[in-house]
Amino acid sequence: MTQAPIGLITSAASERLLENRKEEQVKTPFGTATVLLGTIAQRSAAVILRYGPNLTVPSHKIDYRSNIWALRELGVESIISQNAIGSVNPAIRPGDIVISDDFLDRTRARPQSLFDGSDCWVRVDFTDPFCPRLRADLIAAAKAHSERVIERGVFVCTEGPRFETPAEIRAFQREGGDIVGTPMVPEVVFAREAEMCFASIAPVINFGAGMAPAVVHFGPGSMNDTYYRGGLHDLIERTLIAAIGSVSPDRTCNCGNALAGGFHGTPPEWSRKHISLFR
Ligand SMILES: [Zn+2]
């Protein structure tokens, strides 16, 4: 199999998607990441369970740099990010699937760049915040399985682990936010800095604070119930299988040259193998 593996970062227990699964510990300049390798839809795939195999790593403790660079080390060029999220927009309801086209970064205490600590300055362009080619693949795959696909949306990424307040949700509404979740930034930033394609598929599992009586993650009637017992998990897995099988190996987008015009200084040694500008 010569095609680059497709990367998948999920919040759910999606390891069962992989055939011929094996676990690999990938050392990076930032730390060691656990990656599950195998095939999905007969494509080579590399899967990261961002919350850990037992869902014990909250969003603010994820080693985002290691996760993204480990995928790059494994040859991944395209990353699909699965994010179960809340709705900020009353027109977007639990059960809908959002393929975001923009985001607002409301995180506060996360690494800002893969290149922090290096003798350089990186300013990548985010005019197209998500890869348009990969978004189109995700939209087509999702629409083949659901009539509730929303093709655009502004993803508000918050720090967590607490949920938002009603005032914060109202502020996000005024700012143009549509959905809210915690782990998507800085994955999207580091993927762009590593010149990888990145897009998010986000099943909606709750309304934001103040739009419903309460926001509950675990237990009866919770967001987890909506996702796992409401059929969304199975729907998203079918969509992911179809999307991964349909990702074109031809990168017709600009993601593979993201650092051109956005880099100044001396590239760190660890980056020279994988960044096109430094080869
Ligand atoms: Zn791209």
The phi and psi torsions of 202 (rounded to 5 degrees) equal: -130, 100
pLDDT, residue 213, reads: 82
pLDDT, residue 2, reads: 57
Give every CB contact of residue 73 below 8 A, 6+ residues apart in sequence.
26, 28, 274
In whole angstroms, give the CA distance from residue 205 to residue 226.
6
Instruction: Give the chain's length.
Output: 279
pLDDT, residue 229, reads: 77
3-state secondary structure of 36: strand
| Rounded distance from Cα 258 to ligand 1 centre (Å) | 9
| DSSP letters for 76-141 | --EEEEE--EEESSTTS-TT-EE--SEEEEE--SS---TTTTSSEEE----SS-S-HHHHHHHHHH
Q: In the chain, where are the structural domains located?
A: 6-278
Residue among 42, 40, 32 nearest 10 (CA): 40
CB 3 within 8 A of CB 249: yes
62-94 pLDDT tens trace: 999 999 999 999 999 999 999 999 999 999 999
| Rounded distance from Cα 260 to ligand 1 centre (Å) | 14
| Rounded distance from Cα 192 to ligand 1 centre (Å) | 9
Residue among 110, 44, 35 nearest 68 (CA): 35
| Rounded distance from Cα 5 to ligand 1 centre (Å) | 14
Which residue reads 């839809």 in tokens?
A: 41
Beta strands per DSSP E along the chain: 6-10, 19-27, 32-40, 43-49, 78-82, 85-87, 97-98, 102-106, 120-122, 149-150, 154-158, 179-181, 197-207, 263-265
Within 10 angstroms of residue 173's Cβ, the number of other Cβ atoms is 17
| Rounded distance from Cα 191 to ligand 1 centre (Å) | 10
Reported as half-sphere exposure (CB side, CA atoms, 13 A), residue 254 has a value of 12
| Rounded distance from Cα 203 to ligand 1 centre (Å) | 22
| Rounded distance from Cα 165 to ligand 1 centre (Å) | 34
| Rounded distance from Cα 207 to ligand 1 centre (Å) | 31
Sign of the four-CA dihedral 32, 36, 38, 43:
negative
Token representation of residue 199? 């897009």
CB 100 within 8 A of CB 154: yes
Give every CB contact of residue 11 below 8 A, 6+ residues apart in sequence.
50, 51, 82, 83, 84, 183
Within 10 angstroms of residue 1's Cβ, the number of other Cβ atoms is 8
131-144 pLDDT tens trace: 999 999 999 999 99
pLDDT, residue 1, reads: 43
Within 10 angstroms of residue 32's Cβ, the number of other Cβ atoms is 12
| Rounded distance from Cα 2 to ligand 1 centre (Å) | 19
| Rounded distance from Cα 167 to ligand 1 centre (Å) | 35
pLDDT, residue 133, reads: 95
| Rounded distance from Cα 226 to ligand 1 centre (Å) | 31
Architecture of the domain whose range is 6-278: 3-Layer(aba) Sandwich (3.40)
pLDDT, residue 12, reads: 80
Which residues of the chain register pLDDT less than 50? 1
| Rounded distance from Cα 83 to ligand 1 centre (Å) | 19
| Rounded distance from Cα 178 to ligand 1 centre (Å) | 23
